Structure 1
Amino acid sequence: METITPEFDYNLLRILIALDQTRNVSSAAELLGLSQSGCSTALARLRQKLNDPIFVRTPGGMVPTPRCERMLHTARSVVTLIKEGILEQPAFDPSTSTATFHLAMTDVAEIVFLPRLLRHLQDIAPSIKVTVGNYSTDTLKTALVSGEIDLVAGYFPELSGNGVFKQRFYTHTYACIVRKNHPVIKGKLTIKEYLSQGHAMVTAPARSIIFLEKQMEKKGIYRNIVLRTPHYLSLPAIIETTDLIATVPLAACASFALRGQLQLLRTPFTPPSFPVQQHWHRKVHNDPRHKWLRAQMALLFNESEDEWRAIESELYGKNYRGSQLR
């Protein structure tokens, strides 16, 4: 394999270019922030290395030798490549960028994040595109490490350990939905009704539901699961036309209740809360494009911008903390 000659100091190329610009050792030294003696020493090293005077003095000033003239174009290209490709952080202009960001979310997280995010991007970065995928527990971290995913948003407890950064937006909780004119549940859901009625449950990948199930089991609360489905989006139609109860994240309940045929109810126990976060891999931690995206997410989704906090307070009180199922 061809290697770069270790004996050659490529900083000497900067000396060569500066001398060509100024045709004076003192001026070249000033341009580069060097002492005159340092610049003269570097020029001597370059002459020795190349066995060529490089620049010669004439009555009109220093002029390059034929070999130097041949070298200058290449020297400028090399210095520019090193500066732009290695030393300078690449610029990112969202207003003109046509980048595509690859995000990982569950379908309920799409309800939470995508409408506001896309409206925001249309205003400040109209040519940026977004693709969203839903990954299993087994494949998610691999996709994040490989760069297949730029950012993960939502509740993903499996994303921890070395190499993965995270930022919390806020905490979130759960509520119930049942159909209007339910034959048993009339505006308030009791624990007796909750345990006696049938339930629809969203299954994997639904990490927040798995968390809820484990927390309820610890307190001896066992639901009568009549339906298990992997899809949130079919849930409203199912609940509207049956007597089943669904217990899902509050944001999903609030969104589904807008259809007008569902009741949004508090759970008959104080539900646990879970963190809503963004996750990224350390390989993109300092990349301007990724830093910009994370900044937009943090701007849009945080404690002060939590649009479901008012509903949460109405259901469970202003002092709700939900860290533990009680």
Structure 2
Amino acid sequence: MAAFDLNLLPVALAIHEERSVSGAARKLGMSQPAVSVALNKLRKALGDPLFIRTAHGMEPTPRALALVSPTRDILQRLETGVLASVQFDPAITERKFTVALSDIGEMTFLPRLLDRLRRDAPGASICSVTMPPRELALALEQGDVDLAVGYFPDLKNRNFFQQRLFSHSFVCLLSAVHHQRRRTLSMKQFLEMGHAVIRAEGRSQELFEQFLIRRRIRRRVVLETPHFMSIPFLISAGDLVATVPRAVGESFAQFAAIKLMEPPMEIPRFDLKQYWHRKFAKDGANAWLRSVIVELFAD
């Protein structure tokens, strides 16, 4: 096998089908002398004339006839199994996509993403997961997680691709019946009010806390919680204030008696992105999901 040129097989098949060297050359897009050279190499490799020139064209010998069927099968397998690109069809897929999201990421991304899947990929499903940075990096590499969407600054290895979706800011939440009427809190009000602080796994909240530390701003912390979902009920029922990513505040305002206030300081914005491993950059299903997220959320 090491000495046999597999590129000669399509030549033998073309001569058999066309019954002429010139016809095989046209079929293969080769010159007639090149086909003749290939045929001579094949004859020498197999120790058989393979095709005999007659009044009816190039007639195959028994050795050539034995060669045709497996050659046709080999070439067909190469075309359909190796060379053909795998097309992903969302309309018929039953794929379960696994996406790494924080709890606030779920509120921001999942409603619209699920709505799109119901429309374009009704057989598909979404599994949302949360895991530590090292586990997430390994899961993306192994294909256990398709995408990470949100704020994941630890995914900066060169094997990870990233695409910016939009910038995010922070907003303060107060009870809807709070006496504050202005749209922006003063620094005095911000420092005097009792604060509910979220210590969640999501990294975006860390940005705000680190900003306060750098600016040496000390609040009056009344409550610390690892959960976002209790915040709208705590805020609407009392006189606490919480500072959260804007999309979270806008989601809470839809079902709780709270209002959004601008913080009294200029807090740096942060980018939300989608991340994937380079191994799956050309994967049809992964590429389709990325394109949907860009269409839905990119600014």
Q: Same fold (TM over 0.5)?
A: yes
Counterpart check, 1:109 vs 2:105: yes
Deviation at 1:185, TM superposition (A): 4.6
What is aligned with 1:50?
A: 46
Give TM-score scaled by structure 1 length.
0.85
What is aligned with 1:75?
A: 71
Counterpart check, 1:165 vs 2:161: yes
Deviation at 1:257, TM superposition (A): 0.8
Deviation at 1:91, TM superposition (A): 1.3
Contact 2:200 2:228 in 1 (8 A): no
Aligned pair partner of 1:21 in 9, 17, 20? 17
Deviation at 1:279, TM superposition (A): 1.0
Q: 1:64 to 1:199 in 2, by over 3 A?
A: farther
Aligned pair partner of 2:226 in 188, 211, 230? 230
Mapped partners of 1:199, 1:178: distance in 2: 10
Deviation at 1:239, TM superposition (A): 2.3
Mapped partners of 2:134, 2:223: distance in 1: 25
Mapped partners of 2:26, 2:173: distance in 1: 74
Q: 1:227 to 1:138 in 2, by over 3 A?
A: farther
Counterpart check, 1:274 vs 2:264: no
Bigger mean CA deviation after superposition, 68-77 or 104-113: 68-77
Aligned pair partner of 1:216 in 187, 212, 223? 212
Contact 1:202 1:229 in 2 (8 A): yes
Mapped partners of 2:219, 2:61: distance in 1: 88
Deviation at 1:141, TM superposition (A): 1.1
Q: Give unmatched runs, 5+ long, in structure 2.
A: none
Amino acid at match of 1:100: K
Mapped partners of 1:19, 1:127: distance in 2: 47
Alpha-carbon deviations, 1:140-174, whole Å to 9, x = none?
11111111111111111111131111111111101
What is aligned with 1:245?
A: 241
Aligned counterparts, 1:10-159, within 5 A: 10-159=6-155
Alpha-carbon deviations, 1:35-58, whole Å to 9, x = none?
111111111111111122222334
Aligned pair partner of 2:188 in 192, 205, 212? 192
1:103 counterpart SS class: strand
Deviation at 1:219, TM superposition (A): 0.8
Aligned length: 298
Contact 1:185 1:193 in 2 (8 A): no
What is aligned with 1:257?
A: 253
Q: 1:58 to 1:273 in 2, by over 3 A?
A: same
Q: 1:237 to 1:157 in 2, by over 3 A?
A: same
RMSD: 1.9
Amino acid at match of 2:31: S
Bigger mean CA deviation after superposition, 60-69 or 261-270: 60-69
Contact 1:199 1:223 in 2 (8 A): yes
Contact 1:180 1:240 in 2 (8 A): yes
Q: 1:52 to 1:242 in 2, by over 3 A?
A: farther
Percent of aligned positions that are identical = 38
Amino acid at match of 2:292: Q
Alpha-carbon deviations, 1:57-100, whole Å to 9, x = none?
34332233333333323222222222233323211222222222
Alpha-carbon deviations, 1:280-302, whole Å to 9, x = none?
11111122222222122111112
Mapped partners of 1:230, 1:196: distance in 2: 23
